[in-house]
A and B are shown apart, each in its own frame.
Chain A
């Protein structure tokens, strides 16, 4: 492959392209300002060099075992070589929007599991919340230690045709993917050091510290030095790599359900020194599997009695049990109202337009236009069960119609949103591919920290709109550019370092130089006779 065609054929796809601005009259296109340096660097490197680096990127992930599980099989996590860039102004908007949403959802959860004022005020119908399969009555009235239920949130964003960020869904149960944000950054900065150096990129490595301090702040009252653990379902879980990375970078134990035991309302872990108390559990197990006493009795992953321990106030479960009502896709349609109701603010990030199938007039409208819309089950995740109208056959649509009529509460409809596209290395070169963005937020009770960056997932087949790693999606390193004045960029005040002249390194006894020439000569002579003999022997043989 020659070096000229890396970006040739970077044609426009439907949707907003984040690198190339296409003129509306079709007269031409130009590279957007934020991508100028990346575009120039990639063109300079040429296709062969870019591919070479992409290969070394992939093999470094294999060596380090950066993997995710698909049906029990370990696969290397796919990372694209081209970074995605987000301007400082755009990021401010996202950050404020995410923060606002997390605060509103936090208030909503406290209200829904507490006094229920929002039902009395008619903001959300009570049955919308209590009919959610994720509403758990066992935690009603349970006040978390520092009032936080959403310790970690992942808000899925997309950019619509105008490049505006819109919220696709909220994840306040166990959002995953943050480990890849950190490993992607390290791997990509090693693969593209010169491109990296051309930009001022806000760091992501301090996420674990932010999370640990939020978890420590959530400790039960009266515990001054809490023991924090990460609870994993086990090695066969698709996100097991992430669980180990979080535990490793926070310096806490990674436990499985069988490592924990509940005794008289306290949770203890089995160590080689006997049982030791645990105070904060960052769990990566779904509610249904967390406690066989209250939820699925056959769960082998959970800890019997953990809910009772939480109710007794001896342990904090993060994220809180029952958060699923807040990321239910039906409740999603009410989030703008919740923001207005609880915060008296206008939503900063807009939702994607959504019809509720549970409401008769909206259902009528949608059923007529099923072939134009996207239908989503309200409790699905990872792209499961989604039907994209324009891509579905007549039979599939009929089947869908029956399903909706059977259980309208379980469905919402949205227009087909063309996700924005960013340059991605594929078979033919660099081409536009659709992406979304999942920023991660950590709530410590006082403030919501939004990690500058987040996981960008990319759909590798051309035109594909579902960007999930379990459906063959890739990922990208997301670079949030810093302003020249961003203080975060400076880091802490570095301790002063006075330059000193280093000591010269010491060496062992001399290996040459001090040996008198005579001695060398004598040593050499000892072999000279033999050498000359063998030499003469070989000359004698030569004529033969």
Chain B
């Protein structure tokens, strides 16, 4: 498969997941702002913006500014609107490899952004989650399980690890954990699974453990890492006798085993710092994938004649 197309599919996966997860994170944040009496709006929004990696803004952060930067404003690179726009542009560049259904679903989502931005925030987040779920569903039922699919899954999984890490940081930083953790679980659609798994014991530590380490829950960090590793494994054509030669695979595998084999207390002791490390691993893995699979040509200018 063409490197450029592989790259487009990888980024379609990443951008769609980013839009989805940003909507989930904002949903938690808005809920916490409303429900948590001990919450200071400015600090909390500042924290969220910093967790999301937004640094260039002017003025006092408040919820409207946060919504603008992370949801509505297509000019802000971290916003949902920008992520959907970028997913659609990537899809346009890989148009001939996508099924008509996926393309139409992505295109319709992009065209619906204008309407969505005029909705109330919770409705908009819901809309984003529904649309991205629909696109994933169509992808799941119409894409052949060839390299293109693996690149799509790889992008989606890496982004999911990255964004879930940010979501966990947000929850850990919230001042009132009794509000933040249940909301976080709900935002991941994990509330029911969590309650069933832990028999109703609702504690911060367990919630963090569930979202970090649960092998059965598909949005947890460990299972997303495993999914990314699986995709890389499929892309690696020849099996190896020992070790891994692929840099991305090494990075992701190491990140996963560190989470799985260290005592939980170690990890949750300073969760935001751990999560930042995890995000660095994701970024490095993404770069490694680009270097290995998405080789770009340099641009040459050809001169006529000989220069003396």
C-alpha gap A271/B97 in the complex (Å):
14
C-alpha gap A352/B169 in the complex (Å):
74
Q: Contact: B297 with A261, CB < 8 Å?
A: yes
| Residue A75 CB within 8 A of the other chain | no
Question: Which residues from A are CB-within-8-Å of B297?
Answer: 258-259, 261, 270
Interface magnitude class on chain B: 20 to 34
The residue on A at minimum CB distance from B298 is A258
C-alpha gap A64/B147 in the complex (Å):
25
C-alpha gap A30/B303 in the complex (Å):
65
Q: Contact: B301 with A292, CB < 8 Å?
A: yes
Q: Contact: B92 with A62, CB < 8 Å?
A: no
| Residue A138 CB within 8 A of the other chain | no
Known A-B contacts A254-B96, A304-B300; A272 and B293 likewise in contact (beta carbons under 8 Å) = yes
Question: Which residues from A are CB-within-8-Å of B104?
Answer: 63-65
Contact string against A for B residues 209-223, beta-carbon threshold 8 Å, 1 for contact and 0 otherwise: 000000000000000
Question: Which residues from B are CB-within-8-Å of A235?
Answer: 89, 92-93
C-alpha gap A244/B108 in the complex (Å):
18
C-alpha gap A259/B4 in the complex (Å):
7
- Which of A212-220, A293-301, A338-346, A485-493 is the interface stretch? A293-301
Taking a contact as CB atoms closer than 8 A, the residue among B89, B103, B147 that contacts A272 in the complex is B147
Question: Which residues from B are CB-within-8-Å of A292?
Answer: 300-302
Cβ of A270 to closest chain B Cβ, rounded Å: 5
| Residue B200 CB within 8 A of the other chain | no
Q: Contact: B3 with A259, CB < 8 Å?
A: yes
Question: Which residues from A are CB-within-8-Å of B151?
Answer: 272
| Residue B273 CB within 8 A of the other chain | no
| Residue B295 CB within 8 A of the other chain | yes
Q: Contact: B302 with A65, CB < 8 Å?
A: no
C-alpha gap A244/B151 in the complex (Å):
20
Contact string against B for A residues 247-265, beta-carbon threshold 8 Å, 1 for contact and 0 otherwise: 1100001111011010000
| Residue A269 CB within 8 A of the other chain | yes
Question: Which residues from B are CB-within-8-Å of A259?
Answer: 2-4, 297
Question: Which residues from A are CB-within-8-Å of B2?
Answer: 253, 255, 259, 269-272
| Residue B1 CB within 8 A of the other chain | yes
Contact string against A for B residues 165-207, beta-carbon threshold 8 Å, 1 for contact and 0 otherwise: 0000000000000000000000000000000000000000000
Cβ of A229 to closest chain B Cβ, rounded Å: 9
Known A-B contacts A248-B96, A258-B296; A65 and B4 likewise in contact (beta carbons under 8 Å) = no
C-alpha gap A258/B2 in the complex (Å):
11
C-alpha gap A36/B95 in the complex (Å):
40
Taking a contact as CB atoms closer than 8 A, the residue among A63, A247, A273 that contacts B108 in the complex is A63
Q: Chain B interface (Cβ within 8 Å of chain A)?
A: 1-6, 89, 92-93, 95-97, 100, 103-104, 107-108, 111, 147, 151, 235, 237, 293-297, 299-304
Q: Chain A interface (Cβ within 8 Å of chain B)?
A: 62-65, 235, 240-241, 243-245, 247-248, 253-256, 258-259, 261, 269-273, 292-293, 297-298, 300, 304
- Shortest beta-carbon contacts, A-B, top 3: A244-B95, A297-B302, A247-B96
Some 18 contacts from A to B, beta carbons below 8 A apart, are A64-B104, A65-B104, A235-B89, A248-B95, A256-B4, A258-B4, A258-B296, A258-B297, A258-B299, A259-B297, A271-B1, A273-B237, A292-B300, A292-B301, A292-B302, A297-B303, A300-B299, A304-B302
